[in-house]
Amino acid sequence: MKDSLVLVGMPGSGKSTIGVLLAKKLCLRFVDTDLVIQEREGMSLQNILARHGQQGFLDRERAAILSIQPAQSVVATGGSVVLIPEAMRHLCDSGFVVFIDVPVRRLERRVRNMKSRGIVLAPGQTLRDLESLRKPHYLRYADWVFRSGSQKPAEAANRIAEAYLSS
């Protein structure tokens, strides 16, 4: 069994919420890479995107993730991490990667104002477009896929913990 658990998925999929519950359940520390980026840069994700653009944001995301020592942790990643191969290699080295797969309709209800979330989007790009682009990457890196239905976060955390512990 790998010594860390890495959560990947679309914005609004519940990575941070489920990650906190998993960390408590498994007695591991919790790392939210979006918070690491914000702490390193001293500004919000939205401001990083506005000031530095998509590539500048991805460069900062890469640097932040490479600075993390993920051992003995549950790591909730930003949705764009799968677009950064070096960052994913770093996380995959010690981490059991779980893709939290949430239907786009549910994501659209959860993520109403994408600009305020600091989501890496091209002009005119929709959440559906983003999912089409990213889903193959999520699937490629995933050791296990959690297909989210109507489960509560605690139920999702229990199922993911079972998969991790039996890996």
CATH number for the domain including 26? 3.40.50.300
Structural domain of 88: 4-165
Question: Of 18, 4, 1, whose CA–CA distance to 148 is shortest?
Answer: 18
Work out the mean pLDDT of the chain and round it to a whole number.
Answer: 93
Q: Is residue 20's pLDDT more than 90?
A: yes
- Greater model confidence, 54 or 20: 20
Query: Mean pLDDT, to the nearest integer, of 83-111?
Result: 94
pLDDT of residue 76: 98
The span from the CA of 24 to the CA of 130, in Å, is 31
Number of domains comprising the chain: 1
pLDDT of residue 134: 96
pLDDT more than 90, % of the chain: 81
Instruction: Specify the 3-state DSSP secondary structure of 4.
Output: strand
Token pair for 23: 């960390």
pLDDT of residue 124: 84
> What pTM does this model have?
0.94
The span from the CA of 8 to the CA of 99, in Å, is 5
pLDDT of residue 143: 98
pLDDT band at 140 (very low <50, low <70, confident <90, very high): very high
